[in-house]
Amino acid sequence: MAESPARPRAMEAAAKESEPLLPPPPPSPALRETRVRCCSKRWVGEVLGLCAPYVRALADGQPGELGAESREQALRDALWNFETAVQENITINGHPWQETSDEAELQNGSDIKILEDQFDELIVETATKRKQCPRKILVHVIKTMKAEQEMLKLYQPVVKQKKIKPEPSQASHMANLRQVTGVTSKQIGEAMKSLPALIERAEGFSQALTLQPILELCKLRQEVFAGCKAKEENKIQNFLTQVEVTPAETAASKNSNAILKRKRTTDSPQMKYYPLRRRITLNT
């Protein structure tokens, strides 16, 4: 967009009034750049051209009756102020707007075009190499494999080969091994046949183990009741005793009579009913 050739008088007067009395301090390098960084001056000009209709519409909406010339002058002043403000607040590749030129931009565009052409050439070259290089590599690989095969044919081992003959003792070992293998296989077959019976025995044993506490309880009861029975038997033996009676003249008589006599205790109830009055002797 072309800049206005003459600056308006009103803007000059406002600039003179707004000039500071003291010179501004030099900018410190540590301060951060506040201006917007752009890459192309031409693109910024195109953006300003797109913004011009909005500035015109804003100027048309201002109140007041002005003539055609004054209205056109005010519109030009507004556009000039807008473009100047934008140019002062942007940089082109780190340089101010006034220090850049269109020639440098054209040179940058030509450099980009050259780089694009070189990139296209590299793409084409890479594609051709992908097609051609495998074929060339395949030829070299085949030659290398053939050379290796020829070298293997020329190889002669340093150690001579010998045939290993089995010793006669080895045959006897093999026969023994076969015999032992047959016996072992038979034993394994018998064991497999007896396996169901062993399983049944194991189940019975497990059942017996589960019944062991019950058997112990039965034995305990038997011991308890056996003690009671022993006491009763002792009482009966106290009542009944076996007495062997022999005659005085054993040499004269050949027959000997053994009489079992019941010994009555003093506390027995039979003594009350049948008291023993006199002793009966059998010798006459």
Q: What is the pLDDT of residue 184?
A: 92
Tell me the pTM: 0.29
List CB contacts of 100: < 8 A, sequence separation 6 or more. Answer: 41, 92, 93
The helix (run of H) or strand (run of E) holding residue 37 is strand 36-38
Structural contact between residues 92 and 41, judged by C-beta atoms closer than 8 angstroms: yes
Q: What is the pLDDT of residue 77?
A: 85
Pick 7 or 166 by higher pLDDT: 166
Q: Domain limits of the chain?
A: 9-17+32-100, 101-153
Q: Considering only CA atoms, which of 86, 88, 89, 80 is closest in space to residue 7?
A: 80
Task: State both tokens at 208.
Answer: 């017996």
- Rounded to a whole number, what is the largest CA-CA distance in the chain? 194
Pick 100 or 281 by higher pLDDT: 100
Q: What is the pLDDT of residue 83?
A: 86
Q: What is the pLDDT of residue 104?
A: 59
Structural contact between residues 35 and 94, judged by C-beta atoms closer than 8 angstroms: no
Interval 74-88: pLDDT, tens: 888 888 888 888 888
Q: Considering only CA atoms, which of 41, 48, 38 is closest in space to residue 80?
A: 48
Interval 10-47: pLDDT, tens: 445 444 444 444 455 555 554 567 788 887 777 888 88
- For residue 226, the one-letter residue type is A
Q: How far is the C-alpha of 161 from the C-alpha of 44, rounded, in Å? A: 89
Task: State both tokens at 216.
Answer: 């112990």
